Amino acid sequence: MCDLNTEKLQELFNLKKKCPSNNDKTKTLSDRTIDGMRRVIRAALNQAKIDGYILSDPIKGVKIGHLSKPDVRALTREEQFRLHKTAEKWQKDWPSAFGVILSMYTGMRKGEVLGLRWCDVDLFMEDPTIHMRHSLSRQVDLSGGNTKTVRKLSDTKTNGSKRDIPIMPQLLDDFKKYRESQISLKKQNGITHQETDFVFQSLAFREHEPKRFYDKYLEILKDANIQNADFHTLRHTFATRAIENVMDINTLSAILGHAQTSTTVNRYCHAIEEHKKLA
């Protein structure tokens, strides 16, 4: 570690900038991947400095060049209407399709939707609210020295991600109907409803496998004839509609769970510019 210096780290990142992605020489590593590498190394070296292994942090002088902003794709209003109607249709055979609608009108991430439990949702209070506290994802299980992945309910990724999301009136009635149908479905199968149950469960009444849930989402997209829209597009759609409807940036940032309003501004500057023209 004592031999590690700024020059060697700079050489590493210069090499990574030219490195092919997944052995495909036509594609290089994305700026996001390279920035992620820098963050991990920076965190490790910062801890090494705190622990007294090194006197100075050699990564501070490393330059990785300009990082391009990721393209943000939001559904058009017509696409959003089409996806909403298609997801409603799918609910008859796959109730969890309501999760697609919920994300589109709250800005929740896929893991947050899957990690939501009924004890996190106040539907019958004066101010109906979703208390966002956890996220469900597949994570590497390091216990026992193996590298297998397991479904795990964990805290949201940052303190800013812990937030309360008001439920708009237009969504509230549908949410209540979904709850009633889920409780009824459990009774039919001899299962007692628990407030600690996941809001969105598989047809076997277990937490969803994230990949299978996403595969279902892609099928709904195909049925709605919508292309180039991953699950995060629903979050972008919510943010874009919010800006179009004159929601202020501080409020939007709090609902999305961004630690800083600058993240919201930088990510949705295109929508903000359009709103400025209209204003």
In the chain, the percentage of residues whose pLDDT exceeds 70 is 94
Task: Record the tokens describing residue 230, joined without a space.
Answer: 């991953």
Question: Which residues lie below 8 Å from residue 71, measured CB to CB, with a gap of 6+?
Answer: none
**Residue 28: which of 7, 10, 11, 13 has the closest Cα?**
13
Mean pLDDT value of segment 242-265 = 91
6, 9, 51, 66 from 46: Cα distances, Å: 14, 15, 9, 23
The pLDDT score that the predictor gives to residue 145 is: 65
Kindly report the average pLDDT of the chain as a whole number. 90
Q: According to the model, what pLDDT value does residue 118 have?
A: 97
Give me the pLDDT at residue 129, please.
Answer: 97
Reply yes or no on whether the pLDDT at 25 is more than 70.
no
Domain shared by 143 and 193, yes or no:
yes
pLDDT of residue 47: 92
Confidence at residue 175, expressed as pLDDT on a 0 to 100 scale = 97
| Number of independent structural domains in the chain | 2
Are both 250 and 170 inside the same structural domain?
Answer: yes
Nearest to 94 by CA among 173, 224, 212, 189: 212
CA–CA distance from 101 to each of 65, 81, 239, 276 (Å)? 39, 10, 14, 28
pTM score: 0.80
Does 279 or 219 have the greater pLDDT score?
219
How much is the average pLDDT of 180-208?
95
How do residues 105-118 score in pLDDT, each as one tens digit? 999 999 999 999 99
Which range of residues forms the domain containing residue 28?
A: 6-61
Question: What is the C-alpha to C-alpha distance for residues 131 and 118, in angstroms, rounded to an integer?
Answer: 10
- Give the Å distances, CA to CA, from 264 to 64, 211, 269: 23, 27, 8
Whether 187 and 82 share a structural domain: yes
Q: Provide the 3-class DSSP secondary structure of residue 122.
A: strand
Residues 131 and 254 in one domain: yes
pLDDT at 23 over 70: no
Q: Is the pLDDT of residue 199 over 80?
A: yes
Q: Within this chain, do residues 57 and 82 fall inside the same structural domain, yes or no? A: no
Query: Would you say residue 67 lies in a domain?
Result: no
Same-domain pairing of 142 and 49? no
